[in-house]
Amino acid sequence: MSRDYTVSHRACVFRLSIPVQGGASGAARRCPVAAASARPGRAASGRSPRGARLAGRPADAEGVPRRHVECIHYAWIVAYSATVRRLLISCPGDVPPEDLRTVQKAINRWNGIYGPSFGSAVIPISWGSHAAAEFGRAPQAVLNDQLVDGCDICVALFANRMGTPTAVAESGTAEEIQRLHQSGRYVGILRSRRFVDPATVDHTQAQLLDNYLLGIQQQALVLEYRTDAELENHIDAILVAAITRDRTRSDDQVDATFDVAAGDSNYAAEVWPRVESADRVSTSSNGRVRTRRNWYLVLSNTGKRPAREVRFSLESDSADGEIWHVHTDNAEGVPNIEVLAPHGHDARFPILATMGSASQVRCRVTWIDDRGEQENIATLRLS
C-alpha cells in the first residue's frame, strides 16, 4: 500500500585533499575555502584555518616539506514530502534479466526526474529480490501474501511463455494481474517482441500466451516493445497514468463536499452485477482446435466514488438447478473486494458452471460508500 513519508535534511560532506608545497599561503591560493577562512599566522603555527585542515606529509625528493590541505565543503539535500508506492514487476521465467533491470532503471530515473513534481516515489518489487522462502503453502499463495497484495501498481511483462498454471489462473502472472485489477490497482501489460532464436521457443507455451492475450484484448491495452528505449518509455507512461489516477481519486475523496443525507448521486458508488462469457481457443497435441466457453461474474462500479467492502451472494431464482459456484480467494467474512474503483471499473470472478447449474440466479451486492451501506439486487442468466 502507498505510504506518506517526508525525506529529512541530511548534511553531505565532500572532502578534497590538495597537495601543496610551503606554507598556508600556497594552500590558500589553491583552495577557495582555505583562502576565505585563513588568517595571518595561523598556518605557520601548524593550526588549521577554519574550513580547512593542514596535515603533515613526508618531504619530497628536494627535501621541501609537503602539506595537504583537506577542504571540507557542506551541501544540503532538499527534502520533499512523497507518497511511496510499491510497483510489482510480474513476469514468467523467460523474460530476460536485462528487461527487469531496464524496468528498475526506468523507475529510478522517474523517481529522480518526476518524483518531486508528483510528490511520489515508486519502489520496484519482484519475487526474485523480495520474496522469502516459506514451507507449507502453495508458492503463489505465499507470493500473494508476501508481495502482491501490498503493491499499488503492477507492470506485467510477457515474452514467449505463459508460465506455470496456478489453482485459479493460467499462470502466476495471470493471477497477479487479475488479483490486483480486482482490488482496484493499476495494471499495465507489456509484451516483448525482441528477436529470439526460434529453436529456443516452446511453441505450446507461446500458443497459450497468444490465447490468453486474445482473451483479454477487450479489457486491456497490451503494448509491445523491441528495444530498451521503448520499454523505458512505456514504464514512464504507466507511472504517470497510475499515479495521476491515484492522486485524482484521493483528491476527489478529500475535496468532496456534498450533502450525505441527500445522497447526491454525483458522488456515490453504484455497483451492479452482470454475467460475461469468453471463448478460449486451444490446440491439442494432434492439431485439433477446441473452443471452451468460460463464464464470469462481473461487478462493475458505474458510480463516481469508490465502493468499499464489496460483497456478493447468490440466491436461487428458479427450481431447475443448483446455485452457481463462484470462485474467490477470500476467506469467510472477508469482503470479496476491499475497494472497487469508480467510473466503470469492474472485477471478474470465474463461474464454475456444470450441467446441473441453474439457468438463472438472484445476485445481491452490498458495499459501503460515503452514504453508508448500500445494496443492489439483480437477476442473472447464463445464456
Query: Which residue has better confidence, 5 or 245?
Result: 245
Residues 342/303, Cβ–Cβ less than 8 Å? yes
Residue 368 pLDDT more than 60? yes
| Domain end residue (candidates: 41, 59, 76) | 76
Residue with cell 527487469: 100
Which pLDDT belongs to residue 28? 47
**Average pLDDT estimate for 28-35:** 47
Task: Using the predicted structure, report yes or no on whether residue 18 has a pLDDT greater than 90.
Answer: no
Q: What is the pLDDT of residue 318?
A: 62
334 and 364: one domain? yes
Average pLDDT in the chain: 79
Domain end point (choices 60, 76, 92): 76
pLDDT in tens, 111-158: 998 888 888 899 999 999 999 999 999 999 999 999 999 999 999 999
How confident is the model at residue 193, as a pLDDT? 95
Q: Which residue has the higher pLDDT, 98 or 34?
A: 98
C-alpha 238: how far from its chain's center? 10
Q: What is the per-residue pLDDT for 6?
A: 47
Single-letter amino acid, residue 22: G
Across 90-100, average pLDDT: 95
**Residue at a domain's end among 56, 76, 96:** 76
Tell me how far apart the alpha carbons of residues 113 and 364 are, in angstroms, rounded to a whole number.
47
Residue 353: per-residue pLDDT:
75
**pLDDT tops 60 at residue 52:** no
The pLDDT of residue 182 is: 92
The verdict on residue 129 lying in a domain is yes
Tell me: pLDDT of 47 over 50.
no
pLDDT score, position 257: 44
Is the confidence at residue 180, as pLDDT, over 90?
A: yes
Residues 283 and 340 in one domain: yes
pLDDT of 264 above 60: no
307's grid cell: 465502493
- d(CA 358, CA 383) in angstroms, rounded, equals 11
Number of folded domains that form the chain: 3
Which pLDDT belongs to residue 107? 97
Least confident of 60-69, 187-196, 242-251, 364-373: 60-69
Mean pLDDT of 170-176: 96
Q: In angstroms, rounded to a whole number, what is the distance separating the alpha carbons of residues 367 and 271? A: 8
Residue 314: give the domain boundaries. 265-381
Residue 224 shares a structural domain with residue 102: yes
Residue 4's pLDDT is what? Answer: 54
Look at residue 24 and tell me if it is in a domain. yes
- CATH code at 314? 2.60.40
Cell 585563513 found at: 38
How much is the pLDDT for 328? Answer: 84
* 278 φ, ψ (degrees, to nearest 5): -145, 135
Residue 162 sits in a domain whose CATH number is: 3.40.50.10140
What pLDDT was estimated at residue 161?
A: 96
Within a domain: residue 198? Answer: yes
- Output the 3-class SS for 235-256: HHHHHHHHHHHHHHHHHHHHHC
Quick: pLDDT tens for 246-258. 876 655 554 544 4
- Convert the pLDDT of each residue in 345-365 to its tens digit: 888 899 887 777 777 888 999
Rounded Cα distance between 109 and 257, Å, is: 37
Q: Could you tell me the pLDDT band of residue 304, with boundaries at 50, 70 and 90?
A: confident
Average pLDDT of the segment spanning 222-245: 94
Mean pLDDT in residue range 289-316: 87
The whole-number pLDDT of residue 230 equals: 95
Of 5, 3, 156, residue with least CA distance to 92: 156
Q: What is the pTM of this model?
A: 0.51
Q: Does some domain include residue 260?
A: no
Q: For the residues 179-192, what does the mean pLDDT come to?
A: 95
Segment 322-336 mean pLDDT = 80
In a domain, residue 213? The reply is yes
Residue 139 is assigned to a structural domain of this protein: yes
